[in-house]
Amino acid sequence: MIERIESSLPTFKRLGFRPGLKVLLVRKSAGATDRHTRNGAGKTSFVDLVHFFLGGNVDPKHFLRAEERLATATFSMSFDLAGARVEVARSPARPSEIVIAQGDTSRWPCKPKLDAKTGHLVLKKNDWNINLGSLMFGLSIPEEHDERRFAPTFRSLFSYFARRQASGGFVRPEQHSEKQQAWDQQTAVTFLLGLDPTVPQELQEVRLREKALVEFRNAAREGAFGELIEKAADLRTRVTVSEARAARLREQLAAFHVVPQYHDHELEASRLTVRISELANENQADQQLLLQLREAVTTEAPPRFADVRQAYEEAGITLPGLVVKRFEDVERFHRSVVENRQSHLRAEIEAAEGRLRTREHEQKHLGERLAQIMGILKSGGRWSTSHNCKQNSRASRARRRACADATMLPTRSSVRVRNSTSSGRACTGGSRKIITSSAMSSMKRS
């Protein structure tokens, strides 16, 4: 039951209702004749207001948007909902929100939320319609991932009880609007009569499938799928090519033979590949060591004591015989040191060249064995099992890692050479290059 309808608009006439049958009439003023019209008195607007309060849409042609004073006003209605008095308010300026001014909402499926700005309890229009459908007609609450379509809704069911003449609601009893879809009429009437509404729902699903099938056939007839589906002649060519390929595969399968100890050969090939990669890394390190050793041999030379003697003579100082003798002793000592170092460097060069020759010989032997094993593996195969496939995958990964390692530069410490300049004493005079102790220890480890 509707108790009252009112508005914040001063010119709006408050409507109050009492229990019993309600009839909305237009008062006929004195002196009015049959030629005077009763249109525009507000009868249709009253029905539109009821739909407005109960979750109806407010499109641009709605009468509440005809004037600015109506669009900015707030309208409220007090009525009974599921045996409890409820008062709601709604404004055309904010059509998606329903303000719950009064009422017990504990039984509502969708609870209103408090608006922090206004302090009112507010519901979204869709949630308000869900509450009305559940409380008025006992409609089930739609789930979040519910894929059902064409189910009866509150707005469709309620429109049968508040029909609008402008929408053609009084033309036919089974429809509330001239634009109402056939499936909506069937599901709504079936539900209101207490029958099973899922029957017209499923019937509408069948209609949609038939419509899609007809459209698909028409599109195929018109050649719309020519780019997606090939012609019969092209498909026959593909079949011929595929059959020829299958025949070749059958011949290869017939000639296939099982290699004994296939797994052992795979593991040996993997180990050989890793060893060849290690030898390549060691050769790279020794080759860099050879370059630095040869450079050190060519640059190693004794200090020039004649330059020191010439400097004293140019300064006008005559050296006594004892000092000259000491200079000669120091010069002989340094020459012997340089000769010893050059001899040591040549020995290191010969050792590095020997290691390179040994590794090259080993690489050649391992390469020949690896080529032999790979030829065996390529000539046949084994019966594939899940275990063997895993072993084959691991062996392949090991070979890929070995090949990747072979391309990397060696990480061993290279020989470092630094320059040592004269500190002014005769025994350290001149400039020469010496090998640091860390480099010597690296050469010994090599």
Tens digit of each residue's pLDDT (9 = 90 or more) over 136-193: 999 988 776 566 688 999 999 999 999 988 888 889 999 999 999 999 999 999 999 9
For the chain, how big is the Rg over CA atoms in Å? 51
175 within 8 A of 214, measured Cβ to Cβ: no
pLDDT single digits (tens) 420-435 = 333 333 333 333 333 3
Q: What angle do CA 117, 123, 127 make, to 5 degrees?
A: 155
**What is the pLDDT at residue 203?**
92
Please provide the DSSP assignment of 345-413 as one string: HHHHHHHHHHHHHHHHHHHHHHHHHHHHHHHHHHH-B----HHHHHHHHHHHHHHHHHHHHHTSPP-SP
In this structure, what are the phi and psi dihedrals at residue 224, rounded to the nearest 5 degrees?
A: -70, -20
Q: What is the pLDDT of residue 229?
A: 65
Please tell me which residue, 104 or 395, carries the higher pLDDT value: 104
pLDDT tens profile 361-397: 999 999 998 898 888 777 665 544 434 444 455 555 5
User: 162 exposed, middle or buried (CB, 10 Å; 0-12, 13-18, 19+)?
Assistant: middle
Going by pLDDT thresholds of 50, 70 and 90, the confidence category of residue 339 is confident
Among 262, 279, 263, 261, residue whose Cα is nearest residue 402 = 279
Each residue of 311-337: pLDDT tens digit? 656 655 555 555 555 666 767 777 788
**The pLDDT of residue 217:** 82
What is the structure's pLDDT at 317? 56
When the candidates are 3.40.50, 3.30.43, 2.40.50, 3.30.230, the CATH number that belongs to 2-25+41-141 is 3.40.50
Q: Is 149 exposed, middle or buried (0-12, 13-18, 19+ CB in 10 A)?
A: exposed
Phi first, then psi: what are they for 172, rounded to 5°?
A: -130, 140
Task: Report the 3 state secondary structure along 159-225.
Answer: CCCCCCHHHCCCCCCCCCCCCCCHHHHHHHHHHHCCCCCHHHHHHHHHHHHHHHHHHHHHHHHCCCC
Each domain of the chain, given as residue ranges in start order, spans: 2-25+41-141, 262-445
Per-residue pLDDT band for 53 (boundaries 50, 70, 90) equals very high
